[in-house]
Amino acid sequence: MPEPAHDSGGLEERLASFAPRVYGLLLRIVGHRNVAEDLMQETMLRAFRALPSYRPEGKFEAWIFRIAVNLARDWIRHRSVEPVVGLDDCPEMPIGKPDRYAAAPDAPLDARERAARVEAAVARLSATDREVILLRYYADMPFKEIAQTTREPLGTVLARAHRALAKLGNLMPEDEP
């Protein structure tokens, strides 16, 4: 992706274009739609305000996802209730209604059911394992960059990804994609 435009109008649109993916990442980390929306907005605002100090050492979007993950971690750390470990604990993301949160609404029913199963399995992963595979999926980050973002050793990140993806893989029949 080209470097960000520094005029505020272009930047506003560019940031807005990232909103769905950043929201998707946050939604699956925090498990609450309203919280994910708030954090998404805060992510974009912080990126906007920090842009003068942004140094293009990596991908612009990776920088934004890093801000998002840090905000999500802060939110999880400071909230007064225990973390929601499964989306089935969250009334805003009920399992069994996959058409709302998982696959695209126009996807075939079978795909939506499978997506719902995956959604539930992702929600049951540990927060740290989930964060790694979500960064990989939503932010397209190489594992080395994920390690920098999560401030964990590369080996730890790879072990988390291996464990998480093996769990998801076991959900899928061997002859399915």
Partner 1 sequence: MTTCPKPEELMLYVAGELPPDAARALEAHLASCGRCAREAATIRRGQDALRLLDREPTVRPEAMAALRARLRQAAAERRRPVILSLARRYGWVAAAAALLVAAVYWHGYEPNPQPVPQPGTTVKADFPASTDALDEVAVAVELLSANLNSASDLPAASNGTDAGGASTDDVIDDMHLLLEYLSGGSGSRG
Q: With contacts defined by CB under 8 A, how many residues of the chain interact with partner 1?
A: 57
Q: Which of 74, 83, 89, 171 binds partner 1 (CB under 8 A)?
A: 171
Q: Which of 35, 68, 84, 133 binds partner 1 (CB under 8 A)?
A: 133
Q: Which of 29, 32, 61, 114 binds partner 1 (CB under 8 A)?
A: 114
Binding positions for partner 1, 37-56, rule CB under 8 A = 37, 40-41, 44-45, 48-49
Q: Residue 108 and residue 162: Cα distance in Å, rounded?
A: 29
Neighbours of 12 (CB within 10 A): 13
CB distance 120 to 85 below 8 Å: no
Smallest gap from Cβ 114 to partner 1, in A, equals: 6
| 85 contacts partner 1 (rule: CB under 8 A) | no
Alpha carbon of 114 to those of 21, 37, 102: distances in Å? 21, 26, 9
Smallest gap from Cβ 57 to partner 1, in A, equals: 19
Tokens for 116?
């719902």
Residue 82 or 177 with smaller CB distance to partner 1: 177
| 82 contacts partner 1 (rule: CB under 8 A) | no
Binding residues vs partner 1 (CB under 8 A): 7-9, 12, 15-16, 19-21, 23-24, 27-28, 37, 40-41, 44-45, 48-49, 101-104, 111, 114-115, 118-119, 121-122, 133, 136-138, 142-144, 154-155, 158-159, 161-172, 174, 176-177
